[in-house]
Amino acid sequence: MDQFKLKVGVAPAYQITRKNFEEQTLKKTPYVQKERNRISNYAVCPKCDNPIQIVGLQKNTSEAGRKPYGRHNKGSIANLATYSEIDYQDCPFSNPNWKKSNGKRPAGSPLANKMLATMRSEFDIIIKIMRQKTDLGISRNLARKMLENYMLDEGWLYRQATLNNLPWILGESSPAIPLFGQFIKRESGLSQAIHTNCEQVVLEASPLTDNYVQIRNKPGKFINLSFIFYNHHQEIINDGMQESIDFLVFGKNQEHVDVEIFRKTIPITENDLIVAIQKYGTNFRDESLLEIAKEIID
């Protein structure tokens, strides 16, 4: 792997370089330890929250010229991270031939429990990220519906779920959701696609904000528009994870066949959630969304 964290849970990930490691850890324990006449460097895996050892930080590794990298440490590191075999087995960096798999983690996964707790404590920020990336003005009722689907489908146990991609696992765990009555961002690619391709739809001005319009039906017309999140792609390339998910809006044409109205591939980068938490985590909290998360998850 080519990135590390300083602690378990939602935390920034850094590229593995000597400068980054020494600057972030200040070469203190538990990150730097003397063991059997050698110095070992430790950190936390950004994907599975297990401890990792940083290899080749001071010199090139035995693989000629290979840059420093992280590998899992099959044991706990005191005051840093507790080793979980369950989460190691599902980690994309657990073996060089890893392929994205479906299915669910065992219920005893420490990482899964952290993800559920984070969904509860940061639900409003997770919804804010989804609004910003999709131009869909997710209402409180829609947010509630999506969280109920997440709980029904045990989204926190998805094998592809991580602490960082929580917004998109929330979306992925829902079946198709109707767009009738929903708000979308004015002058966005989404609103333009619907305006151009859906003759039965009118985009009405929102009484609450100039930034959004509401999807309504024209008199005598019936709206058949829905959206899904799907095609969650994860791939290891050059020791790093490439990740994305598709946001798709579709509806029926005159022949009653489902056709694509709008599609957006959303890149998922390692620090999306922590950056949003740092930006909004103290101020701008939506207490009504946090109450919904508390009610449903508790």
Question: Measuring CA to CA, which residue among 193, 243, 229 is closest to residue 13?
Answer: 243
Tokens of 53: 């050892």
Selection from 241, 234, 135, 232 nearest residue 188 by Cα: 135
- What CA–CA distance (Å, rounded) separates 114 from 5? 16
pLDDT for the residue numbered 41: 97
Q: What is the CA radius of gyration of the chain?
A: 22
What pLDDT, on a 0 to 100 scale, did the predictor assign at position 83?
97
Burial of 33 (0-12, 13-18, 19+ CB in 10 A): middle
Token pair recorded at residue 92: 């994309």
**∠ CA 251-143-166, rounded to 5°:** 95
Q: Is the peptide bond before 175 cis (omega within 30 degrees of 0)?
A: no
d(CA 7, CA 52): 11
The confidence score (pLDDT) of residue 86 equals 93
pLDDT of residue 168: 98
Cβ count near 285 (within 10 Å): 14
Task: State the CB neighbour count (10 A cutoff) for residue 85.
Answer: 8
Q: What is the pLDDT of residue 220?
A: 77
pLDDT tens readout for residues 131-189: 999 999 999 999 999 999 999 999 999 999 999 999 999 999 999 999 999 999 999 99
Can you list the residues of the chain whose pLDDT is less than 70? 60-65, 100, 253-254
CA angle 79, 112, 229 (to 5 degrees): 135
For the chain, the structural domain boundaries read: 3-90, 113-297
